[in-house]
């Protein structure tokens, strides 16, 4: 007898049978070993603890569901989830080949495919625990090449760049943004002309608004002022495969092959579990900065160990296995299944923006460049708009539509918002429509948002 969707549950359980078959195949690879008592400690208590864990984990927003449309949270693909779990029976450490022959090879292959996505056939790169560590490594190398020189990034660059600068002893200075949340080129050139700049960070998809810095113009300034360009594509990197970007964003992505280093987070659009970041360098010779000696670690092979080109030591090989499996199923190619899902996310964002722009209750500062939409309720003052945003946020959550909030410059909004010209920030609503399902769910999302707006703001969509 079949099971309908209403009783089947909302979390995928059907794929667990695939894990069981894959585990049997993995086990068959070790039949030459003598039997061993591998019963875990306190085995009889595992089920009770796991059921308690499941109960505790219910205290979460439904991050996996299409009605979660707030922060940058995207569930791992089932193949990534299964491959990661399968790898745990071996638990490889991708620091050294002795402890990770298979998963180190899979990491090199997966990272090379990511590099090819950006047009690099030669590179040096590896996975990291996340975007923060990946950006730290990129700026660490930049600091070694230009010690003591300033790092610039937009005022909307990720806040960790400032912290990374503190850790590395490098001064980080924010550059003003234009009204579309992108690095202001006039402000950048003014600062460059003052001298002492070693690196400029171009953000390919800011975390607040999904804005893409004007990379072609930044590269042109590099020719005049001689600085290093690092692309922080932690959020937006995979949109290099997109076919529906606007002209400005497309022009920026098409020049990524000319930057010096790139960071991308597969645990964002790449359908991976946390944590999985990736750092890439165009010049493989920068590996000289990582050189160190650990004969008790690197004895298993004369080949390059990933720990010899990484600041991190122990790293979960399972992350590489999951990424490799995902890219095996969904290759990183324009026009492929993976790329079309990115286009679906962008289409959802454009559709939501269009509905918001046509509704007299809301003001939108600009169209989304990727898949993040920001907006605010219209009001006479920024303070009033902020109150209304918080009210709408709560009303939507009461209806199981989960949005995000962000305090953004009021100057980004035009006079139609009602608070144009005010200094400071306004609390906005923000949605990262990064799940492929969001396009199909947009009508339902809008219906809920409209009903929440009637309660929180008064009036219906017009």
Q: pLDDT at position 462, please?
A: 54
Q: pLDDT at position 300, please?
A: 52
Q: pLDDT at position 306, please?
A: 81
Q: pLDDT at position 304, please?
A: 66
**How large a percentage of the chain has pLDDT more than 70?**
94
346, pLDDT greater than 70: yes
Domain ranges of the chain: 97-329, 337-456
Q: How far apart are CA 311 and CA 85, in angstroms?
A: 26
295, pLDDT greater than 70: no
What's the gap between Cα 355 and its chain centre? Answer: 26
Q: pLDDT at position 95, please?
A: 81
* 337-352 mean pLDDT: 97
The 10s digit of each residue's pLDDT in 12-65 is 899 999 999 999 999 999 998 998 877 788 888 999 999 999 999 999 999 999
Closest CA to 250 of 263, 265, 238, 240: 240
Confidence grade of residue 302 (pLDDT, cut at 50, 70, 90): low
Interacting residues of 110 by C-beta distance below 8 A, sequence separation 6+: 127, 320, 323, 324, 327
Residues in the chain: 462
Q: If you count DSSP H runs as helices and E runs as strands, how many of each does the chain have, helices first?
A: 14, 11
The DSSP annotation for 90-144 comes to T--BTTSGGGTHHHHHHHHHHHHHHHHHTT-SS-EEEEESSHHHHHHHHHHHHHH
CA distances from 111 to 18, 189, 297 (A): 26, 34, 23
DSSP state of 402: B
298, pLDDT greater than 70: no
Q: pLDDT at position 460, please?
A: 59
Q: How far apart are CA 100 and CA 142, in angstroms?
A: 29
Q: How far apart are CA 371 and CA 421, in angstroms?
A: 27
Burial of 21 per CB tally in 10 Å (0-12, 13-18, 19+): exposed
Q: What is the CATH number of domain 97-329?
A: 3.40.640.10
Q: How far apart are CA 105 and CA 97, in angstroms?
A: 9
- Residue 443, token pair as written in the block: 């009508």
Closest CA to 181 of 200, 204, 198, 162: 204
- Residue 154, token pair as written in the block: 């937009």
The 10s digit of each residue's pLDDT in 393-424 is 999 999 999 999 999 999 999 999 999 778 99
Lowest mean pLDDT among 195-199, 204-208, 307-311, 335-339: 307-311
Q: pLDDT at position 4, please?
A: 44
Class of the domain covering 337-456? alpha beta
Closest CA to 255 of 245, 265, 267: 245
- Phi, psi torsion values for 85, nearest 5 degrees: -65, -45
Please tell me which residue, 308 or 8, carries the higher pLDDT value: 308
Q: How far apart are CA 377 and CA 289, in angstroms?
A: 51
DSSP state of 222: H
- Residue 94, token pair as written in the block: 């991708």
**How large a percentage of the chain has pLDDT more than 90?**
84
- Beta 150-154 vs 197-203: how paired, if at all? parallel
The 10s digit of each residue's pLDDT in 73-126 is 999 999 999 999 999 999 988 888 777 889 999 999 999 999 999 999 999 999
Please tell me which residue, 296 or 374, carries the higher pLDDT value: 374
The 10s digit of each residue's pLDDT in 148-164 is 999 999 999 999 999 99
Q: pLDDT at position 341, please?
A: 97
- Angle between the N-to-C axes of helices 101-117 and 317-329, in degrees from 0 to 180, rounded to the nearest 10: 50
* 168-187 mean pLDDT: 97
* 281-293 mean pLDDT: 86
Lowest mean pLDDT among 99-103, 428-432, 451-455: 99-103
């Amino acid at each position: 007898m079949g099971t309908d969707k209403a009783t089947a549950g909302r979390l995928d359980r059907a794929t667990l049978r695939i894990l069981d078959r894959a585990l049997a195949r993995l086990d068959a690879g070790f039949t030459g070993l003598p039997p061993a008592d591998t019963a875990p400690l306190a085995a009889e208590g595992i089920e009770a603890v796991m059921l308690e864990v499941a109960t505790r984990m219910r205290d979460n927003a439904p991050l996996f569901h299409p009605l979660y449309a707030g922060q940058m949270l995207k569930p791992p693909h089932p193949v990534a989830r299964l491959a990661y779990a399968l790898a745990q029976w071996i638990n490889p450490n991708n620091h050294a080949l002795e402890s990770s022959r298979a998963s180190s090879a899979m990491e090199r292959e997966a990272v090379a495919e990511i590099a090819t996505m950006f047009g690099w056939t030669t590179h040096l790169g590896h996975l990291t625990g996340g975007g923060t560590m990946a950006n730290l490594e990129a700026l660490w190398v930049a600091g070694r090449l230009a010690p003591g020189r300033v790092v610039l990034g937009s005022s909307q660059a990720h806040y960790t760049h400032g912290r990374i600068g503190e850790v590395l002893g490098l001064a980080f200075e924010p550059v003003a943004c234009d009204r579309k949340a992108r690095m202001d080129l006039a402000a950048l050139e003014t600062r460059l002309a003052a001298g002492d700049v070693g690196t400029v960070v171009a953000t390919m998809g800011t975390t607040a608004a999904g804005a893409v810095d004007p990379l072609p113009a930044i590269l042109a300034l590099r020719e005049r002022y001689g600085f290093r360009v690092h692309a922080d594509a932690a959020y937006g990197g995979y949109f290099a495969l997109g076919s529906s970007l606007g002209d400005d964003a497309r022009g920026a992505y098409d020049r990524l092959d000319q930057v010096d280093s790139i960071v991308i987070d597969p645990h964002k659009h790449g359908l991976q579990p946390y944590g999985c970041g990736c750092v890439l360098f165009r010049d493989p010779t920068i590996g000289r900065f990582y050189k160190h000696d650990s004969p008790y670690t690197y004895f298993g092979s004369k080949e390059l160990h990933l720990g010899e080109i990484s600041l991190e030591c122990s790293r979960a090989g399972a992350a590489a296995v999951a990424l490799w499996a995902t890219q095996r199923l969904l290759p990183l190619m324009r026009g492929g299944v993976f790329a079309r899902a990115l286009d679906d996310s962008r289409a959802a964002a454009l559709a939501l923006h269009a509905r918001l722009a046509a509704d007299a209750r809301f003001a939108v500062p600009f169209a989304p460049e990727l898949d993040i939409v920001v907006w605010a309720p219209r009001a006479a003052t920024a303070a009033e708009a902020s109150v209304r945003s918080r009210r709408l946020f709560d009303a939507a959550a009461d209806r199981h539509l989960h949005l995000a909030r962000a305090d953004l410059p009021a100057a980004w909004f035009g006079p139609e918002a009602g608070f144009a010209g005010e200094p400071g920030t306004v609390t906005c609503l923000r949605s990262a429509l990064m799940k492929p399902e969001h396009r199909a769910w947009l009508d339902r999302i809008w219906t809920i948002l409209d009903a929440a707006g009637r309660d929180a703001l008064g009036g219906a969509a017009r």
